Amino acid sequence: MVAEATNGADAISKARAHAPDVVLMDLRMPEMDGVSAIRQMTELGIPARILVLTTFDTDSDVLPAIEAGATGYLLKDAPRDELLRAVRSAAAGEAVLSPSVAARLLDQVRQPVKGTVSQREMEVLQLVASGATNREVAERLFVSEATVKTHLLHIYAKLGVNDRAAAVGAAFEKGLLAPGEGR
Q: CA nearest 16: which of 43, 52, 51?
A: 43
Is the pLDDT score of 112 beyond 60? no
Q: CA nearest 2: which of 27, 22, 26, 32?
A: 22
Distance CA 169, CA 52 (A): 23
Please state which CATH class domain 119-173 belongs to: mainly alpha
Please list the residues that pair with 97 across neighbouring strands.
73
Residue 50 CA to its chain's centroid (Å): 16
Chain mean pLDDT for the chain: 87
* Residues ≥6 apart with Cβ < 8 Å to 48: 15, 19, 20, 21, 22, 23, 41
The packing angle between helices 59-68 and 164-173, to 10°, is 20
Is the pLDDT score of 156 beyond 80? yes
**pLDDT for residue 78:** 86
| Range ranked top by mean pLDDT from 54-63, 149-158, 174-183 | 149-158
Alpha helices in the chain (DSSP H): 8-18, 34-43, 59-68, 80-91, 99-110, 119-129, 134-141, 145-159, 164-173
User: In this predicted model, which residue has the larger pLDDT, 109 or 137?
Assistant: 137
pLDDT digits (tens, 9 = 90+) for 83-102: 999 999 999 989 988 887 88
Q: How is the chain split into domains, by residue range?
A: 8-110, 119-173
In this prediction, residues 151-179 reach a mean pLDDT of 89
Report helix, strand or coil for 54: strand
What is the side-by-side order of every strand in the sheet holding 72-75?
22-25, 49-54, 72-75, 96-97
Domain 8-110, CATH? 3.40.50.2300
Distance CA 59, CA 8 (A): 21
pLDDT digits (tens, 9 = 90+) for 33-84: 999 999 999 999 999 999 999 887 776 778 888 889 999 998 888 889 999 9
For the chain, percent of residues with pLDDT exceeding 70: 92
Is the pLDDT score of 18 beyond 90? yes
pLDDT band for 124, please (50, 70, 90 cuts).
very high
**pLDDT for residue 110:** 60
